[in-house]
Amino acid sequence: MRIQRTVYLLTVCLLSVSLSGCFPWASRAYKNLPEETALDRTYAFEGKVIVVGAGTSGLAAARVLEQNGVDYQVLEATDRYGGRLKKITGLADFPIDLGAEWIHNMPGILNKLKGKAGEEPDEELIPWHLEDSYRWDGAKYKAIPQWYRDAFFAFMPEQKFKNSTWYDFIDVNFAQEVKQNIVFNAPVSGIDYTGDQVRVTTKNGDVYTADKVLVTVPMGVLKANYIDFVPALSTAKQEAIESVQFLPGFKLLMKFEEKYYPDIVVCEVEVGEKSFYDVAFKKEAESNVLGLLVTGPTAESYYQLGSKEAMLSAALEELDQIFDGKATEHFTGEYVLENWGQSEFTRGTWVENFRFEKSVTETLNQPLEKKVYFAGEAYDVYKTMGVPGAILSGFYAIDRLLTNQE
Predicted confidence (pLDDT) per residue in 77-98, tens digit: 999 999 999 999 999 999 999 9
What's the mean pLDDT in 370-386? Answer: 95
d(CA 213, CA 199) in angstroms, rounded, equals 9
- Give yes or no for residue 220 having a pLDDT over 50: yes
d(CA 275, CA 102) in angstroms, rounded, equals 14
CATH topology (fold) of 33-83+165-244+351-406: FAD/NAD(P)-binding domain (3.50.50)
pLDDT tens-digit profile of 248-303? 999 999 999 999 999 999 999 999 999 999 999 999 999 999 999 999 999 999 99
- Give yes or no for residue 18 having a pLDDT over 60: no
Nearest to 73 by CA among 180, 160, 168, 145: 180
Domain boundaries along the sequence of the chain:
1-28+125-161+249-339, 33-83+165-244+351-406
Residue predicted with more confidence, 23 or 140: 140
> Over the range 62-83, which residues count as b (16 or more CB within 10 Å of their CB) and which as e?
bbbbebbebebbbbbbbeebbb
Contact residues for 177 (Cβ-Cβ < 8 A; gap 6+): 62, 63, 66, 67
**In the sheet where 198-202 sits, what is the strand order?**
207-210, 198-202, 188-192, 228-230
pLDDT tens-digit profile of 103-136? 999 999 999 999 999 999 999 999 999 999 999 9
- Give yes or no for residue 2 having a pLDDT over 60: no
- Give yes or no for residue 236 having a pLDDT over 80: yes
d(CA 44, CA 42) in angstroms, rounded, equals 7
Alpha carbon 177 to its chain centroid, in Å, reads: 21
Question: Do 33-83+165-244+351-406 and 1-28+125-161+249-339 have the same topology in CATH?
Answer: no
CATH topology (fold) of 1-28+125-161+249-339: Polyamine Oxidase; Chain A, domain 2 (3.90.660)
Where residue 24 falls among pLDDT bands split at 50, 70, 90?
low
d(CA 178, CA 66) in angstroms, rounded, equals 7
- Give yes or no for residue 16 having a pLDDT over 80: no
pLDDT of residue 299: 98
- Return the percentage of the chain with pLDDT > 70, whole number: 94
DSSP 38: G
pLDDT of residue 89: 96
pLDDT of residue 13: 47
pLDDT of residue 32: 83
pLDDT tens-digit profile of 31-75? 888 999 999 999 999 999 999 999 999 999 999 999 999 999 999
Cβ contact 55:389 at 8 Å: no
pTM of the model: 0.94
- Give yes or no for residue 389 having a pLDDT over 80: yes
- Report the chain's mean pLDDT, rounded to a whole number: 93
Where residue 156 falls among pLDDT bands split at 50, 70, 90?
confident
Weakest-pLDDT range from 13-27, 135-149, 237-251, 376-390: 13-27
